[in-house]
């Protein structure tokens, strides 16, 4: 089995290294990484005593270390921007603007910044500072699991005059890309898919002490525990159509097998099984004209919701539809994809959608999964105490 570096094709994806030692990448490993690289120090994470504040200075040595690695974009080691903390927001943005044209401001935000009226303040400050930003959204479970948060993100993406990206996100990152985000980084573990509040820890492991392992079920657009996947497969064994359509995967690590084998897969295999299908989904969105991408994402969310209902109705399961799927669908006008006649909706200008001039670099999808340890790369797993340990 190849390691994480071998699952990142240069045409669409890249990798995000995280943590204090992420810039100490061995040259031989850097040469093997054919896709773009980003580095996130994650100073904003952890409890109140460990979490850096947004008003604190950024490290120019950290920025220079990234430049030496040839990263796709230099990310600031910003601190956390709390509720209504305009001073921290301005400090992060002003420092990034003064650090160079290749710098992107990492914005670790309290969830209220995507809600009215604070979204207006966020948009105004980002536009006035004229520096690209990468959002890290704080929430106990799913920062985009409510229609108001999704609507706020869509508003920001529509109104921002500089590139906006999502760092430490989940499947919703593809929705952000469909609505104009420059790139999104999907975490390979739950602690890298959003920012846990300072007074909250990641969910504790089960009684046996083993941390829950999640991986993708593409037809459901859901990251599920391997135990839940086993439950779904067992409930569907007598339905060959559902077994094929939902639980059979043709990615490189699955090789057209049904997904129950993932219960014994390695962390790298789980990451590969997640990221390769997401890249195909990303390609299906980004090869469309930009005006067509939002409706493509809407259709995918609706299909995934239909699959959830189908499994519940036919196989007597009682699975909840992920809140982010419902929030994305509800954020669209009722007649988003088609007119009342069933014909494709016209673009805002009333003309046929056209590809943007020189659109040779579509938005990218990154895997936020790795740190450097003893010259090797391994998926990150966060302990309940907020420290990070390595698998393997």
Residues 270-300 as b/e (b if ≥16 CB within 10 A, e otherwise) read: bbbbbbbbbbebbbebbebebbbbbbbbbeb
pLDDT band for 329, please (50, 70, 90 cuts): very high
Pairing state between β 248-249 and 257-258: antiparallel
pLDDT digits (tens, 9 = 90+) for 88-111: 999 999 999 999 999 999 999 999
Of the ranges 48-62, 143-157, 211-225, 322-336, the best mean pLDDT one:
143-157
Residue range 161-179: mean pLDDT, rounded: 95
Diameter of the chain measured on Cα atoms: 62
Q: What is the band of 49 on the pLDDT scale with cuts at 50, 70, 90?
A: confident
pLDDT top residue among 333 and 369 = 333
CA 190 vs CA 202, 206, 369: distances in Å: 8, 15, 10
**C-beta pairs of 29-33 under 8 Å, 24+ apart in sequence:** 29/5, 29/372, 29/375, 29/376, 29/377, 30/69, 30/70, 32/5, 32/6, 33/5, 33/8
Place 48 in a pLDDT band, splitting at 50, 70 and 90: confident
pLDDT in tens, 271-325: 889 988 999 999 999 999 999 999 999 999 999 999 999 999 987 789 999 999 9
**CA–CA separation, 42 and 103 (whole Å):** 16
Handedness of CA 118, 123, 126, 128 (dihedral sign): negative
Mean pLDDT, range 213-235, rounded to an integer: 95
Task: Express each pLDDT in 249-282 by its tens digit.
Answer: 999 899 999 999 999 998 888 888 998 899 999 9
């Amino acid at each position: 089995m190849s390691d994480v570096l071998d699952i990142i094709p240069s045409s669409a994806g890249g990798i995000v290294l995280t943590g204090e030692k992420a810039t100490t990448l061995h040259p031989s490993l850097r040469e093997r990484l054919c896709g773009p690289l980003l580095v996130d120090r994650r100073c904003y994470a952890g409890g109140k005593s460990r979490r850096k504040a947004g008003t604190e200075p950024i490290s120019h040595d950290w920025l220079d270390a990234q430049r030496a690695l040839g990263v796709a974009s230099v990310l600031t080691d910003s601190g956390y921007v709390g509720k209504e903390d305009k001073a921290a927001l301005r400090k992060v943005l002003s420092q990034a603007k003064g650090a160079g044209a290749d710098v992107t401001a990492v914005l670790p935000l309290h969830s209220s910044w995507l809600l009215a009226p604070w979204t207006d303040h966020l948009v105004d400050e980002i536009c006035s500072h004229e520096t690209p930003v990468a959002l890290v959204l704080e929430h106990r479970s799913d920062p985009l699991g409510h229609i108001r948060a999704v609507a706020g993100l869509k508003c920001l993406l529509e109104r921002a005059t500089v590139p906006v990206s999502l760092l430490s996100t989940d499947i919703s990152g593809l929705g952000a890309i469909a609505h104009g985000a420059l790139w999104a980084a999907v975490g390979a573990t739950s602690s890298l898919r959003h920012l846990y509040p300072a007074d909250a820890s990641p969910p504790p492991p089960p009684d046996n002490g083993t941390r829950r392992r999640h991986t993708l079920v593409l037809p459901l657009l859901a990251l599920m525990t391997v135990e839940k996947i086993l439950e779904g497969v067992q409930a569907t064994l007598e339905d060959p159509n559902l077994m094929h359509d939902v639980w059979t995967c043709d990615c490189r690590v699955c090789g057209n097998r049904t997904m129950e084998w993932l219960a014994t897969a390695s962390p790298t295999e789980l990451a590969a099984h997640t990221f390769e299908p997401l890249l195909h989904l990303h390609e299906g969105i980004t090869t469309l004209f930009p005006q067509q991408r939002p409706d493509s994402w809407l259709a995918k969310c609706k299909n995934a919701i239909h699959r959830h209902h189908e499994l519940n109705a036919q196989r007597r399961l009682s699975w909840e539809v992920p809140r982010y799927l419902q929030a994305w669908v509800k954020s669209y006008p009722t007649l988003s994809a088609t007119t009342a006649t069933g014909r494709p909706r016209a673009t805002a200008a009333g003309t046929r959608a056209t590809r943007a001039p020189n659109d040779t670099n579509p938005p990218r999808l990154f895997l936020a999964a790795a740190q450097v340890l003893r010259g090797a790369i391994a998926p990150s797993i966060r302990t309940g105490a907020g420290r990070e340990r390595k698998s393997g």
